[in-house]
Amino acid sequence: MLELFSDPAVWASFLTLTILEIVLGVDNVIFISIAAGRLPEAQRRRARILGLAGALILRILLLFSIAWIVGLSEPFTEILGHPVSWRDVILLVGGGFLIYKAATEIFAEVEGDSHHGTAETVKVTFFGVITQIILLDLVFSIDSVITAVGIADHIEVMVAAITIAILLMMVAATPIANFVEHHPSTKMLALAFLVMVGMSLGAEGLGFHIERGFIYAAMVFAGGVEVLNLWRQKRRMRIRAAADRVLATEGERAGVLHQH
């Protein structure tokens, strides 16, 4: 084990895989944060931690089932001359579910809770949210493990990289969730991001490969624009607050002069 990590090539694959796992895990963290946001505030952090812990366990179990993972990529039937594997089915169903959940959340944000109904809020349970998170974790985990197998040759390196990536995501999950919750426009952007990821997974399931780099580049650009909008909004609020203070001070002075 120690000899393994003394090899520079192993360290290079470890660092590369860790960074990739963090990048690929962003969409997972966003989904978990938004799904847990429907729960009472006291349960949200526990749901996020359990969701990410479930992702870690699933990925490690899948790593020890590499032969099964490879078998998922083998076609088991053909539809209209197109070979279909179980991986394709999982990605297609997972992508469709992700699009449905993101679209439902967008509808709730646009129409408001009063239109969407308080009944949905009542229906949301801790067990239901965890189940949704685990189902999406399975889809993301298969994608993540296939990436890991393609980069690293040693299962110890894969487990270490995935564990560190998930632990970092656990630390970042609460700040990300709080930021998204307190900035509605950012939440809408995050939901649009999930729609894009869902479409990418669905396209992958249909045999059309879309480079994730294009999606992340688009979202980084959109995120940069959103940061500028938030900065402008904050600056305008400061200017407005300063103007209100000046008006209040002038009003107080005018009142004092009027009394004299």
Lookup result for tokens 């729960």 = 39
Largest pairwise CA distance in the chain: 93
How would you write 22-90 as a 3-class SS string?
HHHHHHHHHHHHHHHCCCCHHHHHHHHHHHHHHHHHHHHHHHCCHHHHHHHCCEEEEECCEEEEHHHHH
Predicted confidence (pLDDT) at residue 123 exceeds the cutoff of 60: no
The residue type found at 131 is T
Contact between 99 and 202 (Cβ < 8 Å): yes
**Residue 122's pLDDT band (cuts 50, 70, 90):** very low
Q: Taking phi first (over 0 means left), then psi (-120 to 50 degrees means alpha), and beta for anything else, what does residue 192 get?
A: alpha
Radius of gyration of the chain (CA): 23
Predicted confidence (pLDDT) at residue 250 exceeds the cutoff of 70: no
Instruction: Work out the average pLDDT over 224-234.
Output: 83
pTM of the model: 0.68
Instruction: Work out the average pLDDT over 75-88.
Output: 80
pLDDT tens across 106-121, in order? 888 777 654 444 444 4
* Integer Cα distance of 129 and 47 in angstroms: 8
* Integer Cα distance of 244 and 260 in angstroms: 25
Helices 8-36 & 126-151, crossing angle to 10 degrees? 160
* Integer Cα distance of 177 and 171 in angstroms: 11
pLDDT tens across 168-224, in order? 888 888 888 888 777 777 878 888 888 888 888 888 888 887 777 777 788 788 888
Give the domain ranges of the chain. 7-210
